[in-house]
Amino acid sequence: MESQNVYEKPVTLKNIMKFAVPTIAMTVFMSFYTMVDGLFVSNLIGTDALSAINLTAPIIQLVTAISAMLATGGSAVIMKKMGEQKTDEAKEDFTFLILVNVIVGIVMCIAGYLAMDFIFAGMNLSAEVERYCVEYLSRYLAFTAPILLMNNFTLYMIASEKAALSLICSLAGGVLNMALDYVFIAALGMGISGAAVATGLGYSVTAVVGLFVFSAKKNLLHFKKPVCRFKVLAGAAANGSSEMATALVTGIVTMMFNWTMLHYVGEDGVAAVTVIMYALMFASSLYTGYSYGVAPMLSFYHGEQNHAKLKKLAAVSLNVIAVISVVTALVSFFMAKPLASVFARPDNPVYDLAVTGNRICAFALFFIGFNIFASGMFTALSNGIVSAILAFSRSFVFMLIAMIALPLLFGVNGIWLATPAAELMALALSAFMFLKYRKRYGY
C-alpha cells in the first residue's frame, strides 16, 4: 500500500523535512498574505482601519478555535485508526466530521450576525473605528463555513500524502487574496469590506479543492457514507481541545492587549499591537507548519506502537526547532524598523511603538517553537488533556499573570514584556510534561 511505504520510510532529517517543508511553506505563506491584508489596509485606508482588524480578531479567533479543535483532534483520531488498519471506519468518521464542520460553520455565521450590535459596545471606540469593525466582521462572517472546511482540508490533505497540493491551494488562495485586496480596495474603492471579502475568497480555495479531492475514491482518505459516532466527535473535540483553547485564549489575550493599550496609549497602541502580532504570527508559522507536518507521523507511529521511530522523530524535531528559534529571534530583532515602516511612516506614533514592541517581543521566539511543538505532539499522541493544559497555561494563565504584573512595573514596555515572560514560564511546563510522559509513549 502506497501510504504504508511513506510512513515506513526511515526517520531521518531528510525524510522528515520532505513531509514537513510543504506544511511549513503553507503556514508561512498563509501568515504572509494575512500580513499583506494589513499592509493594504494600513496604507490604502489608514491605521484606524488596521486597528479595527485587530479589534475584530477575538471574534475571528472563535471561528479559528472551533475549526482548529475539529481539524487537529479529528486528524489525530483518524490517522491513529489508519495506523491500526481500520481504514473503512476512518473514512466514515472523516466524512462525518466534515459534515459537522459545515453545520457548525452555518450556526456560527448566524449567531455572529445576531450578536453583531452588541460585540463592540462598551469599548469607547471612535465612531469611525467602530464602523470599520462592523463593516469588516459582517463581511468576514459570510465565509465561516468555507474557513472551517479550509482548516480541516489543509490537515487532511497533509495526512493523505497530499501536502504539496495543500501548499498549492494555500499559494493560490494567497495570491487570489492579495490580487483581490488591490482590486477591491484600490480599484473598486470597497474599503475595509473589500479586504474581508478578499480574505474570505482566498480561504475558500482550499475548501473548494478539498471537496473535489476527497470525493475521489483513489485517495488514501475519501468521502464515504458517514456513520454518526458521537464518541468519535467527542474524542476529536477532547483531543483537539488544546488547539481550541489556544485559539480562544489568543482571542482573549488580544482583547487584553487591546484594552491595556487603549488605556495607556489609545487607538495608536492597538495599531502597534497589530504590527507586532503580524511579526510573531509570521515567525510562529514556521513552528506551527513543522508541527502540522510531523503530526500525522506521530499519530501513525503511535497507532502502530513504533517507539523507535517516535523517539527518533521527537529528537530530530527538537533540534530543528532549536535552529529555527535562534534564526527567527535574531531576524525579528534586527528587522524591527523595516517591518514597522511597511505599516506606518516614521512620523506616525504607531511606528515608534511598533519598533520598541517588536524588539522586546522578539525574545519570545526563543521559546515559542518548543511550546507549540510540545502541545501539538501530545495532541498527535491522542493526549488532549496534557495538550490542553500546556496550551491553556501558556496562552492564558501565564499571559494573564504577566499582563497584570508587568505593565504596573514597566508601563507600556511591560505590555510587550508579557509575551516573552509568559512563553518562558510555558517552556518550563512543556519540559516537565515532556519528561514526565517520556516512558509512557516511548519517545
Q: What is the pLDDT of residue 122?
A: 65
Q: What is the pLDDT of residue 2?
A: 44
Q: What is the pLDDT of residue 246?
A: 66
Q: What is the pLDDT of residue 6?
A: 63
Q: What is the pLDDT of residue 323?
A: 93
Q: What does the block give as the cell for 57? A: 480578531
pTM above the 0.75 mark? no
Q: What is the pLDDT of residue 197?
A: 94
Show Cβ contacts of residue 48 under 8 Å, excluding neighbours closer than 6 positions. 126, 128, 129, 132, 267, 271
Mutual angle of helices 365-380 and 384-392, in 10-degree steps: 160
Cα–Cα distance, 163 to 23 (Å, whole number): 6
Spatial CA neighbour of 245 closest among 386, 401, 370: 386
Spatial CA neighbour of 193 closest among 342, 35, 49, 30: 49
H-assigned helices in 8-86: 13-44, 47-83
What is the Cβ-side half-sphere exposure of residue 345, based on CA atoms within 13 angstroms?
Answer: 5
Q: What does the block give as the cell for 426? A: 510555558
Cα–Cα distance, 16 to 73 (Å, whole number): 21
Q: What are the residue ranges in the chain where pLDDT is below 50?
A: 1-4
